Amino acid sequence: MIDTSLKITKTQNSKLSTVDFSDIPFGKTFTDHMYVADYKDGAWTNMEIVPFDNFSVHPANIAWHYGQAIFEGMKATKHEDGTPMLFRPEMHSDRINKSAERLAMPAFPKEAFMEAVYELVKLEGGWIPPMEGSALYLRPYMVAMDEFIGVQISSTYKFVIFCCPVGPYYSKPLKLKADDHFIRAAVGGTGEAKAAGNYAGSLYPTKLAKEEGFDQIMWLDASEHHYVQEVGTMNIFFVFGNKVVTPATDGAILKGITRISLLEILKQKGYEIEERPVSINEIMLGAQRGELTEIFGSGTAAVIANVQGIGYKGDSISMDISKYKIAPMLKDTINGMRSGRIEDTFGWTIKVV
């Protein structure tokens, strides 16, 4: 029977008192509850919030073989008055459903997504770190559940949301390698989807880049290795004086929710913004001529991460982060909105009461 009502079972053994919010490595601490729903016979059912626990998974689980798995990353923060807040949750619902379409997975209804994140954050409010810049990171994901090793679309899925209290994803400015050999995504591929496989494919080239002393890869386009796409876990921005430039999303670049939010903030503040193809030569030359004044990444996990240098084909540029003005302003604005310190004139934050 299809049951779409949300059932909530609370834990009898909260771990909250054991957590030290001043020392939380990213993604290793999990809260007391999680949301789960099942897709079978063509419909979503069994929507539940339950005590956090392991799943039992069949060894022939189809996603473990062919990677039909997608995810989101979103954040809940605490307003200065103590009220939990969500940041643009409806955009995460829309994006996971775009990812689902690309991976031939079923859409998860927006009303159910909103109810899930709202009720979960209401229940886990005590797990939101109080410090500005920290947050409760929500990880919604959908994974195929058929027990079958033929290559085909699964007929069953799980939709899950768990939560982790987190500090910043990157603790120091980043050195990027503009990779002229490996690629992350080609237009027509799955690069715009938040698909597990995109991240799997990035691991080996990133390992090689780290061995060369870089922190992350800045991916270049698949056909010419000439145009910048994005960085490991973030979109990328370049500042030339008062002009802020970011690669236009072309089907191979993730449509970051932080990315679009930053563009809207910049527009509101009167900066000149350009979304367009950005070549690696323009970046290397711009830095050498002193015209490129800031480089930073944006993402839900990373928020804003300063880039201190880029290496490309044996050449390198380095940036003077102490002179950055726009990246710190954006970080302050977005963190301030998420703590209620700065008024959210966009209506992006939703109080969970």
Is the CB of 124 or the CB of 146 nearer to ligand COI? Answer: 124
| Cβ burial, residue 130 (10 Å; 0-12/13-18/19+) | exposed
Tell me how far apart the alpha carbons of residues 245 and 239 are, in angstroms, rounded to a whole number. Answer: 6
Per residue in 87-101, is it b (16+ CB within 10 Å) or e — as a string? bbbebbbbbbbebbe
Least Cβ distance, residue 169 to ligand COI (angstroms): 6
Least Cβ distance, residue 71 to ligand COI (angstroms): 7
Interacting span for ligand COI (CB under 6 A) from 208-216, 261-269, 289-297, 298-306:
298-306
Least Cβ distance, residue 264 to ligand COI (angstroms): 18
Tell me how far apart the alpha carbons of residues 27 and 8 are, in angstroms, rounded to a whole number. Answer: 24
Is residue 284 a contact point for ligand COI (CB under 6 A)?
no
Backbone phi and psi for residue 68, each to the nearest 5 degrees, phi listed first:
-80, 85
Is the CB of 92 or the CB of 175 nearer to ligand COI? Answer: 92
Least Cβ distance, residue 74 to ligand COI (angstroms): 7
Least Cβ distance, residue 5 to ligand COI (angstroms): 29
Tell me how far apart the alpha carbons of residues 65 and 70 are, in angstroms, rounded to a whole number. Answer: 14
Is residue 128 a contact point for ligand COI (CB under 6 A)?
no
Among 69, 100, 142, 301, binds ligand COI (CB under 6 A): 301
Is residue 233 a contact point for ligand COI (CB under 6 A)?
yes
What is residue 136's three-state secondary structure? Answer: strand
Is the CB of 68 or the CB of 258 nearer to ligand COI? Answer: 258
Residues 147-186 as x/- pattern, contact with ligand COI by CB under 6 A:
----------------------------------------
Residues linked to residue 316 through DSSP beta bridges, in sequence order: 311
Is the CB of 146 or the CB of 215 nearer to ligand COI? Answer: 215
CB 188: neighbour CB atoms within 10 A?
9
Restricting to residues 188-207, name those near ligand COI by CB under 6 A.
199
Is the CB of 232 or the CB of 286 nearer to ligand COI? Answer: 232
Tell me how far apart the alpha carbons of residues 6 and 64 are, in angstroms, rounded to a whole number. Answer: 28
Is the CB of 317 or the CB of 331 nearer to ligand COI? Answer: 331
Is residue 73 a contact point for ligand COI (CB under 6 A)?
yes
Residue nearest to ligand COI (CB): 73
Backbone phi and psi for residue 70, each to the nearest 5 degrees, phi listed first:
-135, 160
Backbone phi and psi for residue 223, each to the nearest 5 degrees, phi listed first:
-90, -35
Least Cβ distance, residue 303 to ligand COI (angstroms): 9
How far is C-alpha 304 from the geometric centre of its chain's CA atoms? Answer: 12
Is residue 70 a contact point for ligand COI (CB under 6 A)?
no
What is residue 64's three-state secondary structure? Answer: helix
| Of residues 214, 72, 222, 70, the one with CA closest to residue 138 | 72
- Contact positions toward ligand COI, by CB under 6 A? 73, 199, 233, 299-302
